[in-house]
Amino acid sequence: MTDLTALTIAEARDQLKARAITATELTSAYLKAIETANGALNAYIAVTPDKALDMAKASDARLAAGKAGALEGIPLGIKDLFGTEGVHTQACSHILDGFKPHYESTVTSNLWADGAVMLGKLNMDEFAMGSSNESSYYGPVKNPWRANGSNADLVPGGSSGGSAAAVAARLCAGATATDTGGSIRQPAAFTGTVGIKPTYGRCSRWGIVAFASSLDQAGPIARDVRDAAILLKSMASVDSKDTTSVDIAIPDYESIIGKPLTGLKIGIPKEYRVEGMPEEIEKLWQQGIAWLKDAGASIVDISLPHTKYALPAYYIVAPAEASSNLARYDGVRFGLRVPGKDIVDMYERTRASGFGDEVKRRIMIGTYVLSAGYYDAYYLQAQKVRTLIKKDFEDVFHAGVDAILTPATPSAAFGIADQDLASDPVKMYLNDIFTVTVNMAGLPGIAVPAGLDSRGLPLGLQLIGRPFDEETLFQTAYVIEQAAGRFNAPKWW
Catalytic residue chosen out of the listed positions 136, 159, 163, 323: 159
> Of 59, 79, 93, 132, which one is the catalytic site residue?
79
What is the layout of strands, in order, in the sheet containing 403-407? 44-47, 117-122, 75-79, 174-179, 217-222, 194-197, 445-452, 458-465, 403-407, 265-269, 298-302
Contacts 24+ apart (CB under 8 A), 247-251: 248/202, 248/468, 250/202, 251/470, 251/471
**Cα(279)–Cα(380) distance, integer angstroms:** 37
Ramachandran category for residue 485: left, alpha or beta (phi over 0 → left; psi -120 to 50 → alpha): left
State which amino acid sits at residue 22: T
How far is the C-alpha of 214 from the C-alpha of 333, rounded, in Å?
A: 26
384 in catalytic set: no
Contacts of 256 (CB under 8 A, 6+ apart): 229, 471, 472, 474, 475
CA distance 93 to 489: 29
Is 79 an active-site residue?
A: yes
Query: Per the omega criterion (within 30 degrees of 0), is the bond before 323 cis?
Result: no
Active-site residue among 183, 204, 245, 411? 183
User: What secondary structure letter does DSSP report for 457?
Assistant: -
What residues contact residue 371 under an 8 Å CB cut-off, 6+ apart?
Answer: none
CB of 413 closer than 8 Å to CB of 155 = yes
| Residues whose CB falls within 8 Å of the CB of residue 67, separated by 6 or more in sequence, listed in order | none
Separation between Cα atoms, residue 259 and residue 256, nearest integer Å: 6
Task: Report which residue type is found at 167.
Answer: V
DSSP assignments along 230-284, one per residue: HHHHHH----TT-TTS-------GGGGTT---TT-EEEEEGGGS-TT--HHHHHH
Cβ-proximal residues to 159 (8 Å cutoff; 6+ apart), any chain = 124, 125, 128, 129, 130, 131, 133, 178, 180, 183, 187
> Which residues participate in catalysis according to the annotation?
79, 159, 183
